[in-house]
């Protein structure tokens, strides 16, 4: 296997690992410039994480919040190449990246591989919990939810019914708040119609957070309001509760209590994706790769890291301990790094990164959201409306925008969640075998 | 596990196995009448098979051609119950149906479980081929196709590239013709944009049919025209070629030749789904259950079978050897059986089934289709337009109709296939374990 891309004389090659917000921004900015850009991603599409919870709660289809890379690049100059593969490790002394589909040489390597769910070392939870970081996981959660509802109708004991109808969401960040809210709406508007013989009170949603507030990235005001919204909607908000383990369909808490459930959703934190051969000393908190103010990886002059995967310590004076892991940081770093690469080639001085905080927001339910910008805080329907507009604007592609808008309008008018199908794609044998082969690309040559 | 449905006094219970065209029609017709209806299906949704090929070729999303049963029945009287489960066998002497989710007693049992792919006993082909009967298989095919295209860019040898870019469709019925046509359009309109560095001529589509014509259910005229359309579109139509086996990425034909491919699509025939404890003598050709003119299973007075799963010999005088396995037959049988059940309860005489042939059609590509009705045959753009209208009308639900229409318009205008994502839902452990338990419900009590 190989990348099958010839080097162009006179053009330096930039290899970008990961086509999330940061990596895609960078690739787009460099297209048409004097670089040959190769984007490597394990998926063949760019996805829009802020709306993944709506896929999980059957409000949107995966295709509405994702976009094939080849479609993005097909309109660009032919200087941007896409390859579907997983980065494994780097040989910095020889400027080579090893991936599941072979090796590729780089002049500049940009790591933008984002994060994955953090189970804080608990293998047990990792095995049993349902994460919600990727489209694949969101579809898995949707299927599991619907299948648990179905089984609650036919199960043998009251105990099992309770386990099937209790939903536990661990993690009170934006994702946790949003999925808990979406599930509460499903409980109120969809399930009574779908399951007329189900006692709706049996379905209980728990949102468990270890610290004493939700949305720790936002103001106390927003945190309190989000909790209030959720409680109004019937969600059991449990603050200051630490999850120790999950055993025999029970979530065990540090205070000795437990919650029975077979839908154990884990959105409690993230860990940077790792790549082999980055010096141990360059790895910071949460597995994030330490970078300087120009997103350069410590000690590797032509390797950069941007977005959630990196941590910039002592760089941006307003954020001496690193930036929050948000889309805007990644996008701004991708943009700046593209400019800086061009500056390097032109022999100009590099510009250090300064994060411009555009604000943050989280939605809980219809007409219920919290939003804050540098000077303004707003809550309720206006925040909700803002949230819709901001997210709609950010989704890639006219068709996806239309799709999402139509779906939202439909859901708003009908109180329905349309995509309640339990379906798993059947994996062809050829694909299974190929995946096995590619998983076996190990360290070494 | 159990069905948890109490019998209502004075109401006879009709258990329907399978919610395809026939089963759903029957359930809908009986709702609001003097029966308690229980529909059992292994999926939680009704699907629309005629458009499954468009899901496989990335033109439609699964949700556009399917509809959750609970949504269908939520608006009906509460006399129709849905249970997700797989029928396993019957105890006709005790009027009990055993399923993966427990037993259920019936007064009338209606088998409407349809068909599955027929591999004619070749285990090897069954393992390796990609079927296209269900949404899950269609999604699997879409993923495999796209993943093969991706790998053709990075594979190591020319031989492998050829295998990855050759697509072999086995079976020249409507499904085979339609998927071959859809793939040919993808080749011409989508891939050159997505893969500017791919030699488009390397992608070859083969449609292999054992008999000497396509669309054997239609007139010679339509068969010839369909082949002509496909050839115009660059499909290699191979008639009179029998597939013997598939080995080392090669389809072996009876005439000694072979075609290398890693995308081996099997739409060559169907076999009725089986259910345990139906007397061997009641099973006819293709595993179909023999029924009389009232769709009654031979020897079992209160067990009926409708649609593709049954074969009515010597019933309908125009079709002494059984009806074609088409949606219209199933729908008409479902409708008549509902009426006949009501007649039985009223002590009236039953009406025998007479199939009213509404015509048949198949589409090959944009503005290219063949259609025939009792007196009229048409080919080309008008047939294509008719095909669109007929199928759009038949899809369940306003929202799905709008969705499909918008997608068709978009594809028609942009020549695009929008849903080019490779994604597999991650199966939660709880679901995996439940599936194992339910698979273990064996014969006996």
Cα–Cα dist A146/A130, whole Å = 14
Residues of chain B with pLDDT > 70, as a percent, come to 98
Dihedral in degrees, nearest 10, Cα atoms B282, B287, B291, B293: -140
Q: Which residue of B has its CA nearest to A410?
A: B399
Q: Give span(s): CATH 3.50.50.100, chain A.
A: 1-117+271-445, 123-268
What tens digit of pLDDT does each residue of B269-316 get? 999 999 999 999 999 999 999 999 999 998 899 999 999 999 999 899
- CB contact at 8 A, B243 and B251: yes
Which of A137-141, A146-150, B7-11, B165-169 bottoms out in mean pLDDT, i.e. has the lowest? B7-11
Query: Which of B2, B6, B8, B44 is the best mutation test for A, with the most CBs of A within 10 A?
Result: B44
With contacts defined as CB-CB under 8 Å, which chain A residues touch B265?
none
Cα–Cα dist B161/B165, whole Å = 6
Q: Which residue of A has its CA nearest to B400?
A: A418
- Closest CB to A140 among B142, B194, B425: B425
Task: Say whether pLDDT at A76 is over 90.
Answer: no
Task: Say whether pLDDT at B155 is over 90.
Answer: yes
Q: Which two tokens stand for residue A95?
A: 């400027």
Mean pLDDT for all residues in chain B: 94
What tens digit of pLDDT does each residue of A339-377 get? 999 999 999 999 999 999 999 999 999 999 999 998 889
Whether residue B426 and residue A137 make contact (CB cut-off 8 A), yes or no, is: yes
CA angle at B276 for the pair B271 and B278, rounded to the nearest 5°: 85
Q: Which residue of A has its CA nearest to B136?
A: A425
Q: How far apart are the first and last CA of chain B?
A: 12
Task: Say whether pLDDT at B77 is over 80.
Answer: no
Whether residue A196 and residue B74 make contact (CB cut-off 8 A), yes or no, is: yes
What are the b/e assignments for B200-218, b being 16+ CB within 10 Å? eeebbbbbbbbeebbbeeb
- Closest CB to A150 among B84, B140, B262: B84
Residues of chain A with pLDDT > 70, as a percent, come to 98
Cα–Cα dist A176/A182, whole Å = 10
- Region of A314 please: left (phi>0), alpha (psi -120 to 50) or beta: left
- CB contact at 8 A, A266 and A180: no
User: For A47-71, what is the mean pLDDT?
Assistant: 94
Q: C-alpha distances in angstroms, A101 versus A2, A246, A358, A440, B152?
A: 6, 37, 38, 11, 11
Q: Which residue of A has its CA nearest to B125?
A: A429
Task: Say whether pLDDT at B198 is over 90.
Answer: no
Whether residue B137 and residue A426 make contact (CB cut-off 8 A), yes or no, is: yes
With contacts defined as CB-CB under 8 Å, which chain B residues touch A103?
none
Q: What is the pLDDT confidence band of residue A9, given thresholds at 50, 70 and 90?
A: confident
Whether residue B70 and residue A101 make contact (CB cut-off 8 A), yes or no, is: no
What tens digit of pLDDT does each residue of A27-44 get? 999 998 899 999 999 999
A339 to chain B, minimum CA–CA distance in Å?
A: 27
User: For A302-311, what is the mean pLDDT?
Assistant: 98
Q: Which ipTM value was assigned to this complex?
A: 0.94
Whether residue A428 and residue B143 make contact (CB cut-off 8 A), yes or no, is: yes
Query: Which of B52, B116, B428 is the best mutation test for A, with the most CBs of A within 10 A?
Result: B428
Q: Which residue of B has its CA nearest to A146?
A: B44
What tens digit of pLDDT does each residue of B432-444 get? 999 999 998 866 5
How many residues in chain B? 445
With contacts defined as CB-CB under 8 Å, which chain B residues touch A80?
none
How many beta carbons lie within 10 A of that of residue B2, not counting itself? 13
Taking one residue from A and the other from B, the number of pairs with CB-CB distance under 8 angstroms is 191
Whether residue A3 and residue B430 make contact (CB cut-off 8 A), yes or no, is: no
In DSSP notation, A224-257 reads HHHHHHHHHTT-EEE-S--EEEEETTEEEETTS-
User: For B213-225, what is the mean pLDDT?
Assistant: 96
Whether residue B434 and residue A151 make contact (CB cut-off 8 A), yes or no, is: yes
User: For B38-51, what is the mean pLDDT?
Assistant: 96
Q: Give span(s): CATH 3.50.50.100, chain B.
A: 123-268
Which of A181-190, A195-204, B18-27, B297-306 bottoms out in mean pLDDT, i.e. has the lowest? A195-204
- Predicted pLDDT at A302: 96
Whether residue A71 and residue B1 make contact (CB cut-off 8 A), yes or no, is: no
CATH number of A1-117+271-445: 3.50.50.100
Q: Give span(s): CATH 3.50.50.60, chain B.
A: 12-117+271-345
- Predicted pLDDT at B252: 97
Q: What is the pLDDT confidence band of residue A445, given thresholds at 50, 70 and 90?
A: very low
- Closest CB to A45 among B155, B195, B421: B421
Whether residue B410 and residue A399 make contact (CB cut-off 8 A), yes or no, is: yes
With contacts defined as CB-CB under 8 Å, which chain B residues touch A146?
44
- Closest CB to B424 among A136, A141, A263: A136
Residue A71 is inside which H or E element, if any?
helix A69-74
How many beta carbons lie within 10 A of that of residue B114, not counting itself? 24
With contacts defined as CB-CB under 8 Å, which chain A residues touch B63?
61, 418-419, 421
Whether residue A195 and residue B70 make contact (CB cut-off 8 A), yes or no, is: yes
Query: Which of A74, A99, A154, A196 is the best mutation test for B, with the most CBs of B within 10 A?
Result: A154
Q: At what angle do helices A174-185 and A220-232 cross, to 10 degrees?
A: 20
With contacts defined as CB-CB under 8 Å, which chain B residues touch A427?
140, 143-144, 424
- Rounded to the nearest 5°, which phi and psi values hold at B260? -75, 135
- CB contact at 8 A, B170 and B268: yes
Q: Which residue of A has its CA nearest to B64?
A: A419
> Using the 8-state DSSP alphabet, how is residue B276 labeled?
B
Mean pLDDT for all residues in chain A: 94
What tens digit of pLDDT does each residue of A384-423 get? 999 999 999 999 888 899 989 999 998 899 888 878 999 9
Q: Which two tokens stand for residue B82?
A: 């849905």
Query: Which of A62, A153, A417 is the best mutation test for B, with the most CBs of B within 10 A?
Result: A153
Whether residue A45 and residue B153 make contact (CB cut-off 8 A), yes or no, is: no
What tens digit of pLDDT does each residue of A219-272 get? 999 999 999 999 999 999 999 999 999 999 999 999 999 999 999 999 999 999
Task: Say whether pLDDT at B369 is over 70.
Answer: yes
- Predicted pLDDT at B445: 46
Cα–Cα dist B235/B42, whole Å = 36
CATH number of B123-268: 3.50.50.100
Query: Which of B8, B415, B430 is the best mutation test for A, with the most CBs of A within 10 A?
Result: B430
- Closest CB to A61 among B61, B263, B426: B61
- Which CATH number among 3.50.50.60, 3.40.630.10, 2.40.160.20, 3.40.1130.10 corresponds to the domain B12-117+271-345? 3.50.50.60
Q: What is the pLDDT confidence band of residue B417, given thresholds at 50, 70 and 90?
A: confident
Whether residue B194 and residue A144 make contact (CB cut-off 8 A), yes or no, is: no
Cα–Cα dist A355/B121, whole Å = 64
Q: C-alpha distances in angstroms, B408 versus B51, B295, B380, B442?
A: 12, 38, 17, 45
A62 to chain B, minimum CA–CA distance in Å?
A: 9
Q: Which residue of A has its CA nearest to B423?
A: A136
- CB contact at 8 A, A122 and A116: no
Q: Which residue of A has its CA nearest to B406?
A: A403
Q: What is the pLDDT confidence band of residue B8, given thresholds at 50, 70 and 90?
A: confident
How many Cα atoms within 13 Å fall on the side-chain side of residue B362? Answer: 29
- Rounded to the nearest 5°, which phi and psi values hold at A333? -70, -40
Cα–Cα dist A155/A353, whole Å = 56
């Amino acid at each position: 296997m190989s990348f099958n891309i010839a080097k162009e004389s006179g053009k330096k090659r930039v290899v970008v690992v990961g086509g999330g917000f940061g990596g895609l921004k960078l690739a787009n900015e460099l297209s048409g410039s004097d670089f040959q850009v190769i984007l490597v991603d394990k998926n063949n599409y760019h996805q829009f994480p802020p709306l993944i919870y709506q896929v999980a709660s059957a409000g949107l289809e995966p295709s509405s919040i994702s976009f094939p890379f080849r479609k993005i690049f097909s309109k660009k100059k032919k200087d941007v190449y896409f390859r579907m593969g997983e980065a494994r490790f780097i040989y910095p002394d020889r400027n080579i990246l090893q991936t599941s589909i072979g090796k590729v040489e780089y002049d500049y390597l940009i790591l933008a591989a984002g994060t994955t769910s953090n189970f804080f070392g608990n293998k047990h939870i990792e095995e049993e919990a349902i994460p919600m970081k990727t489209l694949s996981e969101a579809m898995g959660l949707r299927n599991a939810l619907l299948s648990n509802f179905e089984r609650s109708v036919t199960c043998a004991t009251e105990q099992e019914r309770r386990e099937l109808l209790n939903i536990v969401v661990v993690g009170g960040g934006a994702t946790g708040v949003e999925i808990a809210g979406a599930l509460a709406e499903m409980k109120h508007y969809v399930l009574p119609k779908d399951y007329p013989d189900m006692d709706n009170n049996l379905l209980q949603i728990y949102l468990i957070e270890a610290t004493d507030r939700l949305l720790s990235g936002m103001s106390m005001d927003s945190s309190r309001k989000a909790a209030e919204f959720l409680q109004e909607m019937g969600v059991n908000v449990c603050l200051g509760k630490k999850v120790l383990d999950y055993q025999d369909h029970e979530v065990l808490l540090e205070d000795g209590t437990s919650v029975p459930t077979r839908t154990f959703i884990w959105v409690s934190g993230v860990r940077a994706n790792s790549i082999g051969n980055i010096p141990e000393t360059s790895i910071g908190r949460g597995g994030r790769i330490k970078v300087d103010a120009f997103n350069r990886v410590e000690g590797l002059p032509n390797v950069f890291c941007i977005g959630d995967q990196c941590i910039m310590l002592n760089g941006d004076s307003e954020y001496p301990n690193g930036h929050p892991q948000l889309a805007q940081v990644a996008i701004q770093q991708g943009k700046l790094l593209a400019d800086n690469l061009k500056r390097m080639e032109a022999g100009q001085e590099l510009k250090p990164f300064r994060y411009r905080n555009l604000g943050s927001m989280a939605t809980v339910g219809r007409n219920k959201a919290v939003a804050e910008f540098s000077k303004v805080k707003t809550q309720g329907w206006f925040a909700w409306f803002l949230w819709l507009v901001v997210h709609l604007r950010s989704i890639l592609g006219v068709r996806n925008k239309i799709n999402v808008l139509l779906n939202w309008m439909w859901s708003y008018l009908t109180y329905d969640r349309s995509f309640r199908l339990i379906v798993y794609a059947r994996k062809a044998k050829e694909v299974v075998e190929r995946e096995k082969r590619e998983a076996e690309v190990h360290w070494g040559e």
